[in-house]
Structure 1
Amino acid sequence: MTTDPEDAQDASRRLAVRRLTLTDFRCYPFLRLEADPRPVVLTGANGAGKTNLLEALSFLTPGRGMRRATLSEVARREAQDGAPWAVAAVLDGPGGPVEIGTGREPGSERRTVRIGGSPAKARELDGIASALWLTPAMDRLFTEGAGGRRRFLDRLVFGQDHGHAAAAAAYEHAMRERTRLLKAGGGDAAWLTALEDAMARHGATMAAARNAAVARLDAACAEAVGPFPAARLALAGEVEGWTAEGGAAAAEDRLRAALFRARARDEAAGAATIGPHRTDLAVRHAGRDLPAGQCSTGEQKAVLVSIVLAQARVRTALSGLAPLLLLDEVAAHLDATRRAALYDVLSGLNAQSWMTGTDERTFESFGERAQYFRVESATVVKNDFLPTDEHR
């Protein structure tokens, strides 16, 4: 395969994983995988270990990874209790090659992070690599409860506003303490007021960040890419509405007052009945003017792909760093036309994408634009792809 010099220069600017090393992670005792900047296709039977590779990559960003697992849950089952695990990678990024790694300290639930061989904080990873992912569980995002959509929303917001995670964590902590205090009969009134003040401050900050992020994403989603439908996004939440009407300061005051009035109700309910923890993300298929949850399974998957691609564009515009795309069983529920269009888009991104599937034939339209690996029983072997007549 020949490479145009300009294409090679573009490739050198992409965010790409050039080497991935796993030690005692999920089903892998040890693995070292070498890759080039092209999209990576991982095929194999169910249970072979394909998704575990995507999850390992997701741990190279802040947070609990694409499965929201604890550190002990991702340790290899055959390893001793408390055994360490590690994920390391060599990345090609805008600043050149960099080594990053993360893992579990022996006998603890403490996560370690190293950047360029030196200890670092998990939040520092976001300045080097970011990732977006789609998993089969997310295929039900539009038809199941609001909790999943809210977690999806907040991951999108964090990708645009790094302070959002801290505000959300502070809000959740204050809310839990308030609920505990109310269940105990109210306790110290001054402490209860202080907790409600914290919920109001951090809740208004969360709402403002969500409003800004969804506005950007809605504008990006309105631009349909190829056969992927334009989507319209909106927030269904009182605090976000107050923030849009009068600003964050006014929303903070309204939430503080609402929490005070709701004390008796929340004590009876055993939970806070008002606040941004109850917000939902409303998504519509713009072309059909229907809620996404009322569309066909294939259309819902296409809308979800459209949102992820739009978020990739927004994040790149804001930070200058395109995110890795981790797409588990992405071809499921997509027809051949949309699969081919997706592969065209992924081939043109300034960041690597990693995809899994059980059938190599669903990736044929990638041709030589991608690299192919076969996963079998926690071993990974590179495949030589023979182009179809269409790509010869």
Structure 2
Amino acid sequence: MALTRLTLRDFRNHAATRLDATATFNVLTGENGAGKTNVLEAISLLAPGRGLRRAQVAEMAAAHGQGGFAIAAELEGGALALSTATTPDSPNRRSVRINGAEGPTNRLAEWLAMTWLTPAMDRLFAEGAGARRRFLDRLVLAEQPGHARLATRYETALRERNRLLADPAEPDPVWLDALERQLAEAGAAMALARRTLVQRLDTAIAAEPEGPFARPLLAYAGDTPDRADALAALLREGRRRDRAAGRTLTGPHRDDLAVTMAAKNASAAQCSTGEQKAMLISIVLAHAGLGDTDRPRLLLLDEIAAHLDPLRRAALYDRLAASGAQVWMTGTEPAPFVDLPAPAAFWQVVDGRVERG
């Protein structure tokens, strides 16, 4: 079991919410705007990053509160406590505590393997590459907790290199060398981790029997080398070009996840919204089935059952039950969830209040 207790204080429209006695499947139902997705967002903040909405931290504190919010969770029946909070004095700074000791946000990845799907992701394959990179990095992070630290190191060095490149004065080549070594070490490791996971997922999906969800073919679309020395050489060779552009044009921040629908041999971007959603579900299910992490695995699925027919819902629930993950789902009514194949806990959400169903 992953989360066994969750409490929210002054988070979004939840003044004081507590969920106990969680199960393998946890279903939150209620009208639109009741606060169901807010609970999933709160859980997503128990992982590194900006959460499933990618909102600014200061936006999350309840308007009716005194400023600041708190989210706390117990895992494995109280064996581990995780929390994150802001204060009125520091509304843009999110602190993290693990068993009461303050630590960096990236350390949250060491305790939970978390992924999610939201309706906003339905057009993931038709929009810019940035969203697909974030999606892929989230999948990698669920397998490799150190990926968050690599990404932070890379982004910090990338910002500094771009600042130097955009400066009218000629950059110090010694300082550029040092920055590029940092970029290359973190960037090559990121590219290798992404490429390896994409290959594993593609192999896992290909091995699955034909099912009700569209089968995607996956590839890592990018030229970033997997070796730090090779990437450092490319960065050095590209200085003049990058200086003219005012930004770095080589590295994992330029790579992409390429998805093709197998049955049509068509790029995911050319497929219907329904086909794109089906392929996205296939990827997330394949990832959940990898099962090679020793951390509790959480899946947050916002409104995932709303547009699935009974056959696809049954297939989805069977695959989720077999994954070993703790699953949190939302919907406007309980009916689509009555056939869950594993122990389930139901909650009704009304205006930021949660009652056991």
The question of a shared fold, defined as TM-score above 0.5 by the shorter chain, is answered with: yes
8 Å contact from structure 1 (residues 234, 281) kept in 2: yes
Matched with 2:289 is 313
Give the greater-gyration-radius structure (CA). Answer: 1
Instruction: Check if 1:276 corresponds to 2:261.
Output: no
Q: Structure 2 CA distance, aligned partners of 1:118 and 1:173?
A: 26
8 Å contact from structure 1 (residues 298, 333) kept in 2: no
2:48 is aligned, of 62, 65, 69, to: 62
Matched with 2:242 is 266
8 Å contact from structure 2 (residues 110, 145) kept in 1: no
Deviation track 1:142-185 (CA, whole Å, cap 9, x = no partner) reads 11111111111111122222222222222222221122112212
Q: Structure 1 CA distance, aligned partners of 2:236 and 2:80?
A: 50
Q: Structure 2 CA distance, aligned partners of 1:263 and 1:123?
A: 31
Instruction: Check if 1:173 corresponds to 2:156.
Output: yes
Structure 1's consecutive aligned runs of 4 or more residues displaced over 4 angstroms after TM superposition are none
Q: Structure 1 CA distance, aligned partners of 2:171 and 2:244?
A: 15
Q: How does 1:324-343 map to 2 (within 5 A)?
A: 324-343=298-317
Number of aligned residues: 354
Give the aligned CA root-mean-square deviation in angstroms.
2.3
TM-score, normalising length from structure 2? 0.90
Q: CA 1:195 to 1:374, structure 2 compared with 1: closer, same or farther past 3 Å? A: same
Deviation track 1:44-69 (CA, whole Å, cap 9, x = no partner) reads 12111010000111112233221223
2:207 is aligned, of 223, 226, 229, to: 223
Instruction: Check if 1:145 corresponds to 2:119.
Output: no
Q: Structure 1 CA distance, aligned partners of 2:238 and 2:63?
A: 46
Classify the secondary structure of the residue corresponding to 1:284: strand
Q: How does 1:1-392 map to 2 (within 5 A)?
A: 15-80=1-66, 83-92=67-76, 97-108=79-90, 109-185=92-168, 186-224=170-208, 226-239=211-224, 242-243=225-226, 248=227, 252-314=228-290, 316-317=291-292, 319-366=293-340, 369-383=343-357
Deviation track 1:94-143 (CA, whole Å, cap 9, x = no partner) reads xx743322212441243333333444443443333221100111101111
Classify the secondary structure of the residue corresponding to 2:58: coil
8 Å contact from structure 1 (residues 86, 104) kept in 2: yes
Classify the secondary structure of the residue corresponding to 2:76: strand
Q: What is the one-letter code of the residue matched to 1:273?
A: L
Q: CA 1:256 to 1:130, structure 2 compared with 1: closer, same or farther past 3 Å? A: closer
Q: CA 1:35 to 1:292, structure 2 compared with 1: closer, same or farther past 3 Å? A: farther
Q: Structure 1 CA distance, aligned partners of 2:79 and 2:181?
A: 45
- Larger RCO: Structure 1 or Structure 2 (Cα < 8 Å, ≥ 6 residues apart)? 2
Classify the secondary structure of the residue corresponding to 1:72: helix
8 Å contact from structure 2 (residues 29, 333) kept in 1: yes
Classify the secondary structure of the residue corresponding to 1:172: helix
8 Å contact from structure 1 (residues 224, 306) kept in 2: no
Q: Structure 1 CA distance, aligned partners of 2:265 and 2:307?
A: 21
TM-score, normalising length from structure 1? 0.83
8 Å contact from structure 1 (residues 17, 35) kept in 2: no
8 Å contact from structure 2 (residues 24, 342) kept in 1: no
**Long gaps (5+) in structure 2:** none
Q: CA 1:151 to 1:44, structure 2 compared with 1: closer, same or farther past 3 Å? A: same
Classify the secondary structure of the residue corresponding to 2:329: strand
Q: What is the one-letter code of the residue matched to 1:72?
A: A
Q: What is the one-letter code of the residue matched to 2:350?
A: E
Classify the secondary structure of the residue corresponding to 1:140: coil
Q: Which deviates the most, 137-146 or 216-225?
A: 216-225
Q: CA 1:79 to 1:257, structure 2 compared with 1: closer, same or farther past 3 Å? A: same
* % identical aligned pairs: 51
